[in-house]
């Protein structure tokens, strides 16, 4: 699939319209995983580097907060919410592979520095990915505060350590606090997923505002609720596998999901009328 060179129209970053959402099959998320793995195989060293960085970050969080439940919960919640931002260079790699361009360390450096270097030429788009990342961080903070209030109010004893949580919340008899906690987490995670699943690769690829990217992401989810629910389930399931493997599994899982997210965006959103934000050679 090649990116269109069609000139931007009124649906571009200066307009109020949203790009069309393309039809997809119910099992399309499985195809995204397969494409993500293919991209991983085409650039294994740099892809593995992303997974390694996040695996080390997760291990550091667990080591620092292993005996402090709320610090651990907050750290891992923030880790999961900010991960799409940190995967930005994985999207850039998949785009370069799609275009037949070189995938190297210079591509990663350009991806993370051109936002700042081109500030004077494009001030309206400066750090839009970072701004969106801050919004995700606020969402993670809101979840931790809400979760803490729920457990503090209804747990039979104060919860200080992960073992306290397992004994008195997860394994408690005649107490539905854990089920309520999971349900609340799902309710709060759903809008975060809907807001971010398409936004990050779209912000990298096209000159749109954060609001346009978020609304496009919601439009994609509402247009294809069942396939996107499957995609959310796959992301959560693989992420939990990564955590259960003492974060070692994230070395493979993170790049596979990151590359797969690029293909989810490309196969669902028609961006032919939106102006490109960056050329393959880093010209912002």
**pLDDT at residue 162 is higher than 70:** yes
Give the rounded percent of residues in the chain with a pLDDT score beyond 90: 43
The answer to whether position 155 is within a domain reads: yes
> Average per-residue pLDDT in the chain?
84
What DSSP line would sit under 178-212, residue for residue? HHHHHHHHHHHHHHHHHHHTTHHHHHHHB---HHH
For the beta carbon of residue 64, count every other beta carbon within 10 angstroms.
12
Contact 151, 177 (CB under 8 A): yes
| Distance between CA atoms of residues 34 and 27, nearest Å | 12
* Cβ atoms < 10 Å from Cβ of 274: 26
pLDDT digits (tens, 9 = 90+) for 205-232: 998 888 899 999 999 999 999 999 999 9
Q: Are 24 and 270 in contact (CB under 8 A)?
A: no
Helix, coil or strand: residue 173:
coil
What is the C-alpha separation between 228 and 257, in angstroms, rounded? 14
Angle at CA 255, nearest 5°, toward 195 and 42?
A: 130
Q: Is residue 9 in a domain?
A: no
Beta-bridged to residue 21, according to DSSP, are 269
Please report the pLDDT score of residue 14 as a whole number: 41
How large is the average pLDDT for residues 248-258?
95
Render 38-100 in DSSP notation, one character per residue.
HHHHHSHHHHHHHHHHHHHHHHHHHHHHTT-HHHHHHHHHHHHHHHHHHTHHHHHHHHHHHHT
- The band of 1, judged by pLDDT with boundaries at 50, 70 and 90, is very low
121 pLDDT tier (thresholds 50, 70, 90): low
Contact indicator for 277, 110 with CB cutoff of 8 Å: no
Assigned domain for 1 exists? no
Over residues 86-107, the mean pLDDT reads: 92
Whether residue 202 is contained in a domain is answered as: yes
- The yes-or-no verdict on residue 11 having pLDDT over 50 is no
Q: Which two tokens stand for residue 101?
A: 């361009």
> Cβ distance 179 to 243 under 8 Å?
no
For 212, phi then psi, to 5°, come to -60, -40
Residue 126 lies in a domain: yes
Classify residue 277: in a domain, yes or no: no
Instruction: For residue 232, give its domain range.
Output: 28-268
- Angstrom distance (rounded) from CA 190 to CA 214: 13
238's CB contacts (< 8 A; 6+ apart) are 249, 253, 256, 257
Contact 206, 265 (CB under 8 A): no
* pLDDT at residue 8 in the model: 41
Residues 25-57: pLDDT tens digits? 999 999 999 999 999 999 999 999 999 998 998
Among candidate residues 19, 21, 18, 28, the one with its CA nearest the CA of residue 226: 28
Count of domains observed in the chain: 1
Separation between Cα atoms, residue 246 and residue 240, nearest integer Å: 10
Look at residue 70 and tell me if it is in a domain: yes
Q: What is the DSSP letter of 276?
A: B
The pTM for the full model equals 0.83
Mean pLDDT, rounded, for 115-137? 61
Residue 242 in domain: yes
Segment 95-121 shows an average pLDDT of 79
């Amino acid at each position: 699939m090649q990116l269109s060179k069609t000139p931007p129209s009124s649906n571009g970053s200066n307009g109020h319209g949203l790009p069309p959402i393309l039809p997809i099959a119910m099992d399309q998320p499985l195809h995204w995983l397969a494409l993500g793995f293919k991209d991983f195989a085409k650039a294994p060293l740099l892809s593995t580097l992303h997974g390694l960085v996040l695996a080390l970050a997760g291990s550091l969080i667990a080591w620092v907060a292993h005996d402090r439940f709320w610090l651990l919960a907050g750290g891992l919640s923030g880790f999961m919410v900010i991960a799409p931002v940190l995967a930005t260079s994985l999207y850039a790699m998949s785009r370069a592979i799609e275009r037949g361009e070189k995938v190297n360390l210079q591509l990663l450096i350009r991806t993370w520095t051109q936002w700042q270097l081109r500030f004077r030429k494009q001030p309206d788009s400066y750090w839009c990915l970072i701004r969106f990342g801050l919004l995700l961080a606020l969402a993670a903070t809101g979840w931790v505060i809400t979760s803490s209030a729920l457990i503090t109010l209804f747990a039979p004893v104060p919860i200080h350590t992960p073992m306290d949580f397992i004994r008195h919340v997860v394994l408690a008899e005649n107490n539905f606090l854990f089920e309520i906690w999971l349900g609340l987490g799902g309710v709060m995670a759903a809008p975060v997923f809907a807001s971010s699943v398409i936004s990050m690769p779209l912000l990298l690829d096209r000159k749109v505002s954060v609001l346009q990217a978020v609304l496009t992401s919601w439009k994609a989810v509402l247009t294809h609720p069942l396939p996107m629910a499957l995609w959310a389930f796959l992301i959560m399931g693989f992420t939990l596998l990564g955590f259960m493997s003492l974060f070692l599994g994230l070395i493979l899982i993170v790049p596979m999901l990151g590359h797969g997210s690029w293909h989810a965006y490309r196969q669902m959103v028609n961006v032919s009328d939106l102006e490109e934000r960056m050329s393959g050679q880093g010209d912002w």
